[in-house]
Structure 1
Amino acid sequence: MALNKKGLTDYFVSSKVVLSKDCNDNFYENGTKLNSMDTEEKFTRKEFIDRIKSEVSQFVNRSFDNIVVLAGAGASVVTNEEGIDKDYGKTVGMIAENIAKELGDLNREEITSENNEDFENFLTIQQLSNMCNYQIPVKKEEKFNEEFNLEDFLSKALTYRQYLDDSYKEKDEYLKTVEKILEIIERQTSYNFDTKKMNHGALLKILSSKLKKENKLTVVTTNYDTLFEEAAERLEMTVIDGFSFSYYPYFDSNMFDWKLVRDVPNVKTTQLEYKENVINLLKIHGSLTWERSESDQKIRRKQKDSVNNPIMVFPSSNKYVQSYDKPYFELFTKFQELLRRPNTLLITTGFSFADNHIATMITQAIKHNPGLNALVSDHNISQGHNNWEELYGLMEDHFQIAFLKATLNADLIDYIGEQNVY
């Protein structure tokens, strides 16, 4: 767990208030130890949580015209007493380790017969790394090397393809291995929504209730899974995801600009009534349910189990180039336009700001849109990489940014709204 410069763990940080704790469960505000107001005894955890809730409430419970949620990989992660629940969302590091296991770099006895078909036809990750000159080994002392970066590795591996010709003796193994890796990533990011373990529905309900009927909550996600769609379905919400309302839905970015209205019954007026519980969903890295039609080349949304070649931006440096292709360009453009709107609240959850193209888009919007307020939530709000440091610098320059140590499937909804709404 990352500590701040004073050796404390930060739980809420704004330009005015820093709430933190030490390893002995002592709680601090702006570096000063807190004592109970009633007895001057040790500040309790409940008092500390209530103090955080008060600060978060002041930040999010304003009359915003627009609310945008950015959900990264961490938004799909479920934790239990043993750590991360492997049946649900996985970190990029977990996916990399699973790839290494399936291709034989790690203990082969952990590989099931289901994913062990034609094992001898694939290269190991280490063999593929050597081939494309990726230097960091996949294992260290017979264990997975946490320094192994799947995004960097895939960038090298995918770029290497252009140097292969038909005479290269390992070309077939290379192509099969890369295809296998992409298939593993697809499988590792496919799981179903669980109302008992996931708070996606509660998040939608809480934030939708903070907006007027004519304004739609927008969820932007880098994830391929269908958790937000399934949560909205259970809540009987209408999801506008950029696809037509036709029998075979096809991608049409103009759908985001439409609102569902009807004439007010029995009233002779031009007044309109807006449909409740309508949200926008922008899946900026693609989806397990999207596939390009061979007949008309349109991007169509289908049932997840009927998609053979889903449209997805895989974790590599190529994703920055892919973001200019259809449909990603239209989705990124819409996201950028939303961040430019006045009186807007942006809440990020499970997004580490490691994606430079998305992080830059957000920081530029904060700099140029004085009406944009950003609540950045994550399991660790003391990260040290450049994009995170830039956000902290903007906060210290009194831009409307606050940081909250919280995750979607644990405690985020407790801070932004009542837990029993779902």
Structure 2
Amino acid sequence: MAKRFAVLGGYTRGWQDVVDDALPDDDERAVQEAAVTALREELSLISNSESLVILAGSGASLGITNAVTGTTCAPTMGSLWSEVENLASFAKVKAQLSTDPIAARNLEHVLSDAQARLALNPSDLSLETFIAEAEHIVWTKCSFVAEDSDLESHELFLRKVARRSTRLQRTQIFTTNYDLAFETAARRARFNVIDGFGYGGQDFDGASFDLDYVRRRPHEPLALEPSVFHLLKLHGSVDWTASDGGVQKVYGATKPIDPVLIYPSAAKYQLSYQQPYLEFMSRFQIALRQPDVGLIVVGFGFNDDHLSAPIEAALRSNVGLRAVFVSPGVRDGSRAKSLDWIEQLIGKGDRRLTLLEATFDELVRVLPEVPSKEERDAHAERIGLGGSRQ
């Protein structure tokens, strides 16, 4: 039988597998159907929270393919390592670096090791060249989104999580990915993106997150546009460049002269508390402390301490937070300790939390559709049209 996904929540009796094939056992089929129904209801509660926060990691991009050839576009850490390993500059510095990260093919640790050694010996041109070439590979391989990229899942995801009632807070999508998947999907699906660069602006200004889109019609009051969301790129973007102490967005096929990215290394935690990343981290922490907040974490393995810590703190202190954590490796033996702890909370009866063993594409399919008439709007209209009671 082909398994679609597996789910663990306060509404299941342990991990519940859900399969595509018809089950001969009526009781087992009923159990699975009940689990899927309960999961959809939980996802609906999360999606309709006053504040909706999404954290999308690398797993949210791994399923992107070329629409013509069907080939996978997004790089994995393994494929990035293979490219870096073949550099002539790597061969020159390999003997200087620690053997364990190299043997483990861990690009993040190898770059961290090289950067630390360069800091101790700034005149080492071999190390400097290797680091620059390795970072260039990361930028190049993550600049894969093009007009022939299949972003159907990302477009549908936006329609399901970002087209909410305008009486609710704008959906905030935080992502560690450098690529332009969400921006391109938003353009194709006719969404407006508030990303810190103003209305089509070029220079980053964190205050622009406090602006919004409204619709103006003759003889009608101003109304908020429904298809708008915030996009906050926690580790930078392939179309950002450093300029005069600030950050600018480049357009078209122009390559940034000085890309603004937090590359894979141990410096991620430190760099995330510098601008413009400080603005994103601040808003991430504030968002998780809202009294009625839904959190969807997808494709994130909890390997970045600077992001894992705020989530864990919110789970401990914010009883108004409901969350689902989605990854194909969410119950692997090698998973992060944070996921062990979340499963323990669920086992102790924490009904706010759900673990979903699924890909980004599978999450998109199981997410409930946007209701044709959001209940909050319908209720407001009933109260407004009914007039005051005598």
Q: Above 0.5 in TM-score?
A: yes
Closer, same or farther: CA 172–231 of 1 in aligned 2, 3 Å: same
User: Of residues 36, 40, 43 in structure 1, which corresponds to 2:26?
Assistant: 36
Contact kept in structure 2, 1:74 and 1:91, CA below 8 Å: no
Contact kept in structure 2, 1:78 and 1:198, CA below 8 Å: no
SS of the residue 2:202 aligns to? coil
RMSD between aligned residues: 2.9
SS of the residue 2:329 aligns to? coil
User: Of residues 75, 80, 92 in structure 2, which corresponds to 1:90?
Assistant: 75
Task: Name the TM-score, length of structure 2 as normaliser.
Answer: 0.82
- Alignment partner of 1:230 is 2:230: no
The answer to which structure has the higher helix fraction is 2
Counterpart position of 1:132: 97
Contact kept in structure 1, 2:195 and 2:230, CA below 8 Å: yes
Whole-angstrom distance in 1 between the partners of 2:149 and 2:167? 25
Whole-angstrom distance in 2 between the partners of 1:11 and 1:180? 41
Whole-angstrom distance in 2 between the partners of 1:278 and 1:79? 23
Shift of 1:215: 2.7
Contact kept in structure 2, 1:11 and 1:381, CA below 8 Å: no
Whole-angstrom distance in 2 between the partners of 1:291 and 1:241? 15
Shift of 1:86: 6.2
Counterpart position of 2:376: none
Counterpart position of 1:55: 38
Residue identity opposite 1:15 in structure 2: G
Counterpart position of 2:162: 208
- Alignment partner of 1:220 is 2:174: yes
Shift of 1:90: 2.2
Closer, same or farther: CA 97–195 of 1 in aligned 2, 3 Å: closer
Shift of 1:304: 5.6
Counterpart position of 1:149: 106
Closer, same or farther: CA 148–231 of 1 in aligned 2, 3 Å: same
SS of the residue 2:100 aligns to? coil
Counterpart position of 2:90: 123
User: Of residues 339, 347, 352 in structure 2, which corresponds to 1:400?
Assistant: 352
Shift of 1:48: 7.2
User: Of residues 230, 238, 246 in structure 2, which corresponds to 1:280?
Assistant: 230
Closer, same or farther: CA 26–159 of 1 in aligned 2, 3 Å: farther
Whole-angstrom distance in 2 between the partners of 1:264 and 1:364? 44
Percent identity over the alignment is: 25
Structure 1 unaligned regions, length at least 5: 1-7, 28-33, 38-42, 104-118, 139-146
Contact kept in structure 2, 1:72 and 1:221, CA below 8 Å: yes
Contact kept in structure 2, 1:78 and 1:197, CA below 8 Å: no
Q: Deviations over 1:52-81 (max 9, x none)?
A: 43122121212411211111011100278x
Contact kept in structure 1, 2:327 and 2:359, CA below 8 Å: yes
Shift of 1:134: 4.0
Counterpart position of 1:112: none
Counterpart position of 2:362: 411
Counterpart position of 1:298: 246
Counterpart position of 1:110: none
Residue identity opposite 1:312 in structure 2: L
Contact kept in structure 1, 2:5 and 2:17, CA below 8 Å: yes
Contact kept in structure 1, 2:51 and 2:171, CA below 8 Å: yes
Q: Deviations over 1:332-391 (max 9, x none)?
A: 001111111122111111111111110111111121111111111111220332122122
Residue identity opposite 1:130 in structure 2: A
Closer, same or farther: CA 95–64 of 1 in aligned 2, 3 Å: same
- Alignment partner of 1:15 is 2:10: yes
SS of the residue 1:223 aligns to? coil
Whole-angstrom distance in 1 between the partners of 2:324 and 2:156? 18
Shift of 1:204: 0.4
Contact kept in structure 1, 2:64 and 2:149, CA below 8 Å: no
Whole-angstrom distance in 2 between the partners of 1:265 and 1:53? 46
Contact kept in structure 2, 1:359 and 1:387, CA below 8 Å: yes
Counterpart position of 1:71: 56
Alignment of 1:363-378 (within 5 A): 363-378=312-327
The alignment of Structure 1 onto Structure 2 pairs a total of residues equal to 356
